[in-house]
Chain A
């Protein structure tokens, strides 16, 4: 804290400047007038030629200006009253007032990186600004809900910066911007307030790397974080097989972001998401994606069209359960109803079709297995015979033609 009597002295010294200063400067707290004698000049530069201008109006509009703080409260090393002050000032330390916030920051991924000497990592001013710091609830604040995307994207949405600082996840700002969350936030209406921005998932002064168990986006905590808004879905997920496996301690079981991605989350009814979700299922369920691709459904979706059944169409999305569970959409009791969702007049016989028949699995699909073997023999037989037949014929015809050297000379 600055000694008030010294400050007062500075004020008196600055009285002359009051007359010369801009009208806006006159509105600034009296204690700052001395500083503004030099710094209010828009073109003011220090000895190294760097701009040192401070806009008094912006400072006044800031939360610190509103509280009538003086310059030297932050720039404490000017407080000895000597003007002009030393050419190089110490960096401002916010801890003096914001002790708790700074202590929290030290534990974040940004704070740790700074402590490791990686100066590209964000500090207080990178998010909050300097002389123009505003309250987060102020719509003009860079930390306001509607501005946080742009604030984080200064680094995490810049290809050049991502590369320079080797930021994890790449250009997540761009991915987020095109996501369903980003589109909500970019909207004009009241939905804008509903669109989650970066800090809603990652936290503010507690942003941690995703491999940190305390992180809100750590594998084990993702369903909880997403569920803070999507609580109905979280309940479904918890009752589904993936959720059950997680409760048994298998954090390797898929969580929200394994199917939906972290930043590039798309609407579930968009083909782009549905087609990619099939591939995500196939990453783990490899046998089943292979047999699915043997079916008409699997081939049509593979071509990029979603008018046919996807994995989730039959199995459900968050609530999927193994076929052995009577509550499953594909259990013996529910299967027909599931088929009828698309094939309205489907019969029990129709539903006995095997969506995952495996032509290499004689035990599961014996007739299908033998049909596949028969077709293999047929194709190899026909192509083999006529392949040899054609190669020999071509060879002989060519020789005959070359020997005869005339258009219809087919004799040997």
Chain B
């Protein structure tokens, strides 16, 4: 969680990684949006019941976990018909990994789940 650049040590939290990843994923051509999956829905529900101290508010559609100098990111995206799902998933993985690494210096593994393909 700490990075060293020019003698400065800094600390990157899960939420930062999640927000950078979400913003970058939105800009990948073919991504219509991110989708809060059941886990996010439950987290939101739990947050409203248990209070924000116990449950950190999540960025919808992104789960990020930082372990040491590595980050694991799971994104759930929505696309539309006509976009090749495999190519889209690869593009999202590449762009998000590059953006998060550039911003935080962490080594990143991105898991992409395409939850919906809009047909209209």
The answer to whether A and B interact is no
